[in-house]
Amino acid sequence: MAEDIRLSIEAFGYNVCDVVGTGELAIERCRQLLPDLALMDVRLKGRLNGIEAAQRICQKNDIAIVFLTAFSDAQFLQQAQTVLPYGYLLKPYNEKELQATIQIALHKHGIEKQLRAQQQQLNAILNRLNESMPPGQEAPLPSKPAADKPAQLSRCSGARKPQLEGLLHTLTHELRAPLIASRLTLGSLIRGAFGPVDQKLEQVLNESAEANEELLRLVETLLEIARYEAGKQVLLREALSWEMLLAKAVKPLQAIFQSDLRHIRSQIEPLPVLATGDPQQIIYVLQSLLDNALRASGPGDFVDVKVEFVRPNQVRVSITDQGQGIVPSLQKQLFKKFLANRGRGWGAGLSLYLCNQIVQAHGGRIAVHSAPSLGSTFFFTLPLPA
């Protein structure tokens, strides 16, 4: 049977490195040959069964495991879950099932390997960005731009500019472009452009697509930060309609949180004159603050948004949640880059740091008022035209 499988796999166009009969030999040959995939019968000769051998292989090598088993091997299947196999091939099988199982396993393994490599690149970039400015030191704010001209930031010294421009190139070409290509490929696969997609494969592809989108969102945020710090972010200056901005910010969040009966309420007061700014950038700020507020809230809670005029001549936008609040010592650090643990699901601290960059670039300020167990109010102000 092993020889028949070898011939079939080679007929599919793959190279079979070796065929062995015991778990001990499988571990040794995988260590020596480092194959992309190991097709492992759960019943092997020798001291180790296929699952035990696979566990040891995966501890030391990045190899996709596909188990070959029979319906009578139900007691082994629960144990097999600890290996996180890339597929099962049930006896008796036909050549189409064998080929499809191998293709899916190799495809999933390849995508996961690519995503891990991109995550490592992102971690390196995060470290470089975090080291790009000494602790406690802030780049100077730009002067207020004319209302009829785009605002271009100039926030980096001559010494830092080449470093930040290098980061922009890396983010754009080495990370963003491959992730966009992966998005297109995965989308085509899910839609069945390359052949029928069964439920099992669709689940694998959707998981890969979700991981790809998460990395792409992180890259886009890093790219925005790098543009600001390199002085390459150009801001539009348009009259801001808060009804429109809020509607666009809320729309992608509704489907996520309505299932938990969390609600957003808004109160937009009349303003003597409209503020000006870059609509897309302000939408990002609103969406980030709303997302954080909703995540801090519980089922049935309300998040309140208020837009109002404040003296001497500003518009103030506040977003209040009913969450657990934030301790004073942490509030001072919220808008700094790469704060590691905020307890509200904010990860590396990029979102609020970018919000701060955007608001400051518009000539405003962003802050938070909070107390433990009493919720939080994040607010930002923007100047109004004289």
Which structural domains are found in the chain, ordered by start?
A: 2-93 (3.40.50.2300), 104-235 (no CATH), 238-383 (3.30.565.10)
pLDDT digits (tens, 9 = 90+) for 97-140: 899 889 888 888 887 887 777 767 666 665 655 555 444 444 33
Taking the C-alpha atoms of residue 98 and residue 39, their distance in angstroms, rounded to an integer, is 10
- Residue bearing the bigger pLDDT, 37 or 71: 37
User: Residue with structure tokens 């091997």?
Assistant: 73
Residue with the two structure tokens 């009966």: 261
The whole-angstrom separation of Cα 372 and Cα 259 is: 26
Q: Could you tell me which of 300, 308, 292 has the C-alpha nearest to residue 382?
A: 308
Could you give the residue ranges of the DSSP H alpha helices within 67-136?
Answer: 74-80, 95-130
In this predicted structure, what is the pLDDT of residue 245? 96
3-state SS assignment for residue 186: helix
Does the pLDDT at position 239 exceed 90? yes
In the predicted structure, residue 264 carries a pLDDT above the cut 50: yes
Q: Tell me the one-letter amino acid at 146.
A: A
Rounded Cα distance, 246 and 250, in Å: 6
The confidence score (pLDDT) of residue 349 equals 62
Which residue, among 98, 112, 95, 33, has the nearest Cα to 67 in the 3D structure? 98
Over residues 257-284, the mean pLDDT reads 89
Ramachandran sector of residue 231 (left: φ over 0; alpha: ψ -120 to 50; beta: rest): left
State residue 146's pLDDT score.
39
What's the CA gap between 109 and 62, in Å, rounded? 9
Residues pairing with 37 in the sheet: 64
Q: Name the band, by pLDDT with cuts 50, 70 and 90, for residue 186.
A: confident
Contact 231, 151 (CB under 8 A): no
Residue 376 banded pLDDT, cuts 50, 70, 90:
very high
Identify which of 155-159, 202-206, 250-254 has the greatest average pLDDT. 250-254
151: tokens are: 């605002």
DSSP characters over 169-216? HIIIIIIIHHHHHHHHHHHHHHTTTTS---HHHHHHHHHHHHHHHHHH
